[in-house]
């Protein structure tokens, strides 16, 4: 028989065990499932050590980007990027200027071969020995054949040679009707041969300075003081003088007979891309000067005629021609159209004189032009070069200027060649 005191004790003990078991399970669940019966030092980690605060799951509204719950709004596709308005225009202009300043001057293809023709339908020049009036040139044509090649885009070597043809008629007339005019000629005459060296020095990205030296060998035909039985030499001298005049005294050394010439030169070339759209192109400005020092190498001495009204003629040992000029051109449509203008002042001392005439002085010349540069090959390495210009003397000995005997001559210039 059970004791009546033991029953309540057993019931109380059984109730206490159930409470302890239930309490332990609840405590374990509250501590994230940690086993409290494990390592005594295992305690929950603080938040700064990556504990439960660091592992806290993001709120649902943050996962959704705040949709519908006042979350952070995104920037969208229409947020201003960079500068706008006037600031953007200034930024673009500055960037374009930097590109322009960084663009080097373009000297074209390294190799060139061309022929330049000056044509005068009619005109007149001064031939000192024919001192009673001007010598008519009707017509005249002058050809310069040239070639050059630039090595390593710096050292340019070249050569030129002139040939001319003219129908010239001096002031004298035939003594008898039907007889030959004593100073009317139709002749072909060779000019001088020039060889040259011209290095190009880069001053800035856009400015290049060419410095040249040319030697002109005496191969030109003609003599103003030719013997009476060698009048063809006078005719050839007239042809070369008309060729020099048609070119505005820009190339006297190429057409002076019996002269060896040394021609130093210096210039500057500036290029700048300009414009936009159909008007986009490249502006090229060029300035140059040269000295033609022409030394006498031969020819006839003037004969002394005691009955002559004027003093005897004279041939100068050294003659000079100084040329100072510049040009501007604008290449559009990738070089297809290039309008331009050249202008120069030539000052020449006489090579020969007779009495008061010598055909020297200062001469100003204008030369408007239009040129083209067209690719022939698919890669553009072979190109056609063309130029049409008018050589227009303004006053001076070639423009009916400051001489007792009026004379004037202008010419049409045509240049054709290839660049490679």
CATH number assigned to the domain comprising residue 328? 2.40.160.40
Query: What is the C-alpha to C-alpha distance for residues 2 and 8, in angstroms, rounded to an integer?
Result: 11
Q: Where are the beta strands (DSSP E) in 203-317?
A: 207-217, 259-274, 281-296, 314-315
Per-residue pLDDT tens for 99-142?
555 567 888 999 999 999 999 999 999 988 888 888 999 999 99
Per-residue model confidence (pLDDT) at position 75: 54
Across residues 217-242, what is the average pLDDT? 92
- The DSSP code sequence of 290-346 is EEEEEEE---PPPPP-TT-SSPPPEE-SEEEEEEEEEEEEEEETTTTBEEEEEEEEE
The residue among 181 and 242 whose pLDDT is bigger is 242
Q: Is the pLDDT of residue 10 over 50?
A: no
Per-residue model confidence (pLDDT) at position 352: 92
Across residues 237-248, what is the average pLDDT? 96
Question: 3-state SS of 117-151?
Answer: EEEECCEEECCCCCCCCCEEEEEEEEEEEEEEEEE
Within 10 Å of residue 263's Cβ, how many Cβ atoms? 22
Distances (CA, A) of 328 to 42, 271, 338, 343, 373: 91, 10, 10, 9, 16
Structure tokens at 49: 């050590």
Residue 12: inside a domain: no
**Closest C-alpha among 261, 279, 283 to residue 329:** 283
Per-residue model confidence (pLDDT) at position 179: 73
Q: Where are the beta strands (DSSP E) in 65-134?
A: 111-120, 123-125
Query: What percentage of the chain carries pLDDT values higher than 70?
Result: 72
Query: What is the C-alpha to C-alpha distance for residues 404 and 387, in angstroms, rounded to an integer?
Result: 36
What is the average pLDDT value for the chain, to the nearest integer? 82
Residue 196: inside a domain: yes
Local structure of residue 35 (DSSP, 8 states): -
Across residues 243-263, what is the average pLDDT? 97
Across residues 396-416, what is the average pLDDT? 87
Number of structural domains in the chain = 1
**Closest C-alpha among 185, 194, 195 to residue 237:** 185
Query: What is the C-alpha to C-alpha distance for residues 347 and 298, in angstroms, rounded to an integer?
Result: 24
The residue among 85 and 388 whose pLDDT is bigger is 388
Per-residue pLDDT tens for 262-275?
999 999 999 999 88
Per-residue model confidence (pLDDT) at position 56: 54
Residue 317: inside a domain: yes
Q: Given the structure tokens 């690719």, which residue do they identify?
A: 375
The residue among 154 and 279 whose pLDDT is bigger is 154
Residue 29: inside a domain: no
Domain assignment of residue 122, given as a range: 109-174+181-419
Local structure of residue 354 (DSSP, 8 states): B
pLDDT tier at 345 (50, 70, 90 boundaries)?
very high
The residue among 53 and 302 whose pLDDT is bigger is 302
Per-residue model confidence (pLDDT) at position 276: 77
Question: At residue 241, what are phi and psi to the nearest 5 degrees?
Answer: -65, -40
Per-residue model confidence (pLDDT) at position 232: 92
Residue 74: inside a domain: no
Per-residue model confidence (pLDDT) at position 206: 92
Q: Is the pLDDT of residue 403 over 50?
A: yes
C-alpha R_g of the chain? 47
Per-residue model confidence (pLDDT) at position 11: 44
Query: What is the C-alpha to C-alpha distance for residues 247 and 235, in angstroms, rounded to an integer?
Result: 19
Question: At residue 89, what are phi and psi to the nearest 5 degrees?
Answer: -60, -45
Q: Is the pLDDT of residue 31 over 80?
A: no
Residue 376: inside a domain: yes
């Amino acid at each position: 028989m059970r004791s009546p005191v033991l029953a309540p004790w057993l019931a109380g003990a059984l109730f206490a065990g159930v409470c302890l078991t239930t309490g332990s399970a609840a405590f374990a669940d509250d501590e994230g499932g940690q086993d409290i019966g494990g390592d005594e030092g295992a305690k929950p980690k603080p938040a700064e050590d990556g504990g439960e605060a660091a592992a806290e799951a993001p709120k649902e509204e943050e996962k959704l980007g705040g949709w519908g719950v006042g979350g952070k709004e995104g920037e969208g596709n229409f947020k201003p990027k960079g500068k706008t308005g006037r600031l953007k225009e200034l930024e673009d202009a500055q960037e374009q200027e930097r590109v322009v300043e960084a663009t080097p001057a373009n000297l074209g293809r390294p190799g060139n071969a061309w022929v330049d023709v000056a044509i005068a339908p009619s005109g007149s020049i001064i031939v000192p020995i024919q001192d009673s009036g001007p010598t008519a040139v009707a017509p005249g044509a002058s050809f310069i054949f040239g070639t050059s090649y630039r090595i390593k885009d710096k050292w340019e070597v070249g050569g030129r040679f002139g040939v001319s043809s003219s129908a010239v008629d001096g002031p004298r007339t035939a003594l008898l009707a039907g007889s030959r005019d004593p100073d009317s000629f139709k002749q072909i005459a060779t000019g001088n041969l020039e060889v040259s060296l011209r290095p190009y020095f880069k001053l800035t990205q856009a400015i290049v300075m060419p410095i040249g030296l040319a030697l002109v060998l005496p191969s030109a035909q003609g003599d103003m003081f030719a013997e009476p039985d060698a009048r063809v030499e006078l005719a050839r001298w007239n042809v070369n003088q008309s060729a020099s005049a048609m070119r505005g005294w820009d190339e006297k050394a190429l057409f002076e007979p019996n002269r060896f010439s040394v021609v130093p030169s210096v210039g500057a070339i500036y290029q700048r891309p300009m414009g936009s759209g159909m008007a986009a192109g490249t502006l090229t400005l060029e300035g140059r000067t040269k000295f033609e020092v022409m030394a006498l190498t031969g020819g006839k001495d003037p004969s002394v005629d005691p009955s002559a009204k004027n003093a005897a003629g004279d041939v100068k040992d050294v003659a000079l021609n100084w040329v100072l000029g510049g040009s501007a051109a604008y290449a559009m449509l990738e070089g297809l159209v290039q309008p331009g203008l050249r202008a120069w002042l030539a000052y020449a001392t006489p090579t020969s004189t007779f009495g008061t005439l010598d055909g020297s002085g200062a001469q100003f010349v204008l030369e408007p032009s239009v040129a083209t540069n067209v690719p022939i090959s698919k890669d553009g390495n072979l190109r056609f070069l063309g130029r049409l210009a008018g050589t227009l003397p303004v006053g001076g000995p070639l423009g009916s200027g400051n001489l007792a005997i009026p004379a004037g001559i202008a010419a049409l210039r045509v240049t054709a060649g290839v660049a490679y």
